[in-house]
Amino acid sequence: MNLMINAKIVKIFYQMAEYFTMQDVAFKPQAYSRAARFIEPMEEDLEEVYKEGGLKALMEVEGIGQGLAEKIEEYIKTGKIEEYEKQKKECPVDLEALAGIEGLGPKMIKTLYEKLGIKTLKDLEKAAKTGKIHDLPRFGKKVEQNILRGIEFSKSGQGRFTLGMILPIARRFEQRLGELDSISQAIAAGSIRRMKETVGDIDILVISNNSSKVMDYFCSMAEVEKIIAKGETKSSVRLDLGLDADIRVVPKESFGAALQYFTGSKDHNISLRKIAQGKGLKLNEYGVFSAKGGSASGGKGKKQIAGKTEEEVYKALGLEYVPPELRENTGEIEAAFLRQRADQGKRDGLPRLIELEDIKGDLHCHSDWDGGENSISEMAQAAGNMSYQYIGISDHTKFLRIENGLDEKQIARRNKEIDKLNAKFKNFRILKGVEANILNDGTIDIEDETLASLDYVIAGIHSTFKMKKGEMTERMIRAMKNPHVDIISHPTGRLIGRRDEYQLDFEKILKVAKETGTVLEINSYPDRLDLNDRNIRRAKEAGVRMIINTDSHHRAQLGLMEYGVAQARRGWAEKKDIINTMGYEELIKFLKTHKK
């Protein structure tokens, strides 16, 4: 079994779409990228689907027709797709690298190759720096500048993967290793456990009494492309997906200390060690040791006083347990410390972080009315299955024609459908919303009367991202001052690894959000995670309320909520900071009264 088959198929399909676009082939690009979009959030492994039901079962997956199902079958059987290999070989340029630059599509890449012979990122950078690109038809100075910025941006994030891509893989590794007889526990530590938005490698920790067996197994897994190091308690491999995985075997009595150490962050650990020193203790990956005492486990002549569990380690240092998401050395240690002292009550201590179970519904969801993949009824069903009390349907509005944005009449018709569905439910509610567009001047693309007919309005920027800071800030402020606008979606507009935030005076935005009672979104989509952790913390400190939404275009994406909650936790958010922790009645009341 190959754990990463879904991720690999997704990658191949997106690239196929690009190859076909470059060659001006009709329809195929859409078919491939559409299928990739469906496979991306899937929980089932395509190989399992195939094993259980063959080609027919693959074709039942949304977005996959016979042709693509056959490609997946070929990949499962042979480990490659002939047509893809052929495209890759025949394509004269490094499409993968070039298409990774924000704003550079396959058609532009083709022009760059034909006119300037650009094949690689290096060629591209050189041409942009020497001003060769802006003379090409349909390029211009602005595009050239953007290309340069895109190159810088891609360099800064190099070698990192989104958590959304790696977490499911790490979890399946945990599960697979945990099932081995020789392993009693397996857990992914490092940045994955801290739920950082991007991840450099996978760090796995296991408890085992047969470490050589574990190492043999780990190094011979199907996904291993190369063994970097294989030792008795520690091995490192390069996975064929392009990232490394480390494994360490630790004894049971040190597991907590090892987990603490390898969860990091490094800066958090350095501060902890200083605290230990201050108390005359020694902290390392084997445990907490006192200078006195006789046992020889760990440091010479030192006695282990903690190490079996993480809680024990923190306690031995006089600290409250610090949740992994907070371990970035940004004040969490001081907060954990002070709570135990005489000034308790005067200081806040660690926040009581929001949990996934606190979430009662999702208000940023698209339906098939705006080209999403599921009907309102299907989305509601899926939300009900997650034990939510409500779902809000927030279809795109008319300015976004390419996304089938709805006009006022369509919104009215859609609302009628929601009324009909609601009449059937007992303990569940569908809320009527939209995700309207903030136009360049800060106005909204839908008439006030229609906005007033909705339960809530989300407004977001979906065009003209490259405005000057002052203008962009004014644009956003005007939208927040609109009494109908309840929520701002993905407030900073960044796409991880692809597009930087737009220029925005965030302090000003927070001030106006507070004044107007406007709610800022934490968008859970793993490529967005917008607000990010830093901004969430600033919003919380400014007393601005937030909402965690998924931006689902497919019912399976409702499950992405976990990533938004993790980001909120990294931003120190508590239940009271997040409005969709409210039950239905409370939320409706809130939505009617919060705008000032």
Binding site residues, ligand DGT, CB under 6 A: 190-191, 199-201, 203, 261-262, 264-266, 269-270
Residue with smaller CB distance to Ca ion, 100 or 190 = 190
The span from the CA of 249 to the CA of 234, in Å, is 6
Least Å from the CB of residue 390 to ligand DGT: 36
The entry of Ca ion, ligand DGT, none near residue 50 (CB within 5 to 8 angstroms by kind) is none
The distance of closest approach from Cβ of residue 4 to ligand DGT in the complex, given in angstroms and rounded to an integer, is: 18
| CA 185 – CA 180 distance, rounded (Å) | 9
Instruction: Return the sign of the alpha-carbon dihedral for residues 131, 135, 137, 140.
Output: positive
Secondary structure (H, E, C), 201-231: CEEEEEEECCHHHHHHHHHCCCCEEEEEEEC
Token pair in block for residue 12:
């191949």
Select the binding partner of residue 265 from ligand DGT, Ca ion, none (C-beta < 5 to 8 A, by kind). Answer: ligand DGT
For the chain, the maximum distance between any two Cα atoms, rounded to a whole number of angstroms, is 81
Joined tokens for residue 18: 């690009």
Write the DSSP assignment of 232-255 as a string of letters: SSEEEEEETTS-EEEEEEE-GGGH
Min. distance of Cβ 101 from ligand DGT in angstroms?
Answer: 23
Minimum separation from the CB atom of position 191 to ligand DGT (A)? 3
The residue ranges of DSSP E strands in 341-495, in sequence order, are 361-365, 390-396, 429-437, 458-460, 487-488
Compute the least distance from the CB of residue 329 to ligand DGT, in Å. Answer: 11
The DSSP code sequence of 60-121 is HSTT--HHHHHHHHHHHHHSS-HHHHHHHHH-SS-HHHHHTSTT--HHHHHHHHHHH---SH
Chosen from ligand DGT, Ca ion, none, partner binding at 269 (C-beta under 5 to 8 Å by type): ligand DGT
Q: C-beta of 249: minimal distance to ligand DGT in Å? A: 15
Residue number, 61 or 192, with CB nearest to Ca ion = 192
Tell me which residue has its CB nearest to Ca ion: 190
- Binding mask 215-254 toward Ca ion (x if CB under 5 A, else -) reads -------------------------------x--------
| Min dist. Cβ of residue 197 to ligand DGT (A) | 10
Single residue of 203, 325, 533, 562 touching Ca ion by CB under 5 A = 203
Q: Which does 262 bind (CB under 5 to 8 A by kind): ligand DGT, Ca ion, none?
A: ligand DGT
Among 190, 392, 493, 564, binds Ca ion (CB under 5 A): 190
How big is the chain by its Cα radius of gyration, in Å?
26
Task: Kindly state whether residue 328 participates in binding Ca ion, applying the rule CB under 5 A.
Answer: no
Residue with tokens 């994030």: 157
Decide whether 45 or 244 has the Cβ nearer to ligand DGT. 244
Name the residue nearer to Ca ion (CB basis): 13 or 218.
218
Starting at the edge strand found earlier in the chain, the sheet holding 287-290 runs: 281-284, 287-290, 303-306
Looking at beta carbons only, is 191 or 367 nearer to ligand DGT?
191
Return the H-helix or E-strand segment holding 304: strand 303-306
Nearest to 432 by CA among 445, 447, 444, 415: 415
Distance, CA of 233 to CA of 46 (rounded, Å): 33
Which of 195, 365 has the CB closer to ligand DGT? Answer: 195
Are 497 and 559 within 8 A, CB to CB?
A: no
Q: Which is nearer to ligand DGT, 35 or 276 (CB)?
A: 276
Distance in angstroms (rounded) separating the CA atoms of residues 40 and 308: 38
By beta-carbon proximity to ligand DGT, the closer residue of 228 and 412 is: 228
Give the shortest CB-328-to-ligand DGT separation in angstroms.
10
In the complex, least distance from residue 189 CB atom to Ca ion, rounded to whole angstroms = 8
**Alpha-carbon distance values, 221 to 7, 175, 233, 237, 564 (Å):** 17, 14, 17, 10, 32
CB of 165 to ligand DGT, least distance (A): 13
**The one among 40, 201, 310, 435 contacting Ca ion by CB under 5 A:** 201
**Which of Ca ion, ligand DGT, none does residue 381 bind (CB under 5 to 8 Å by kind)?**
none
Could you list the residues that contact Ca ion (CB under 5 A)?
A: 190-191, 201, 203, 246
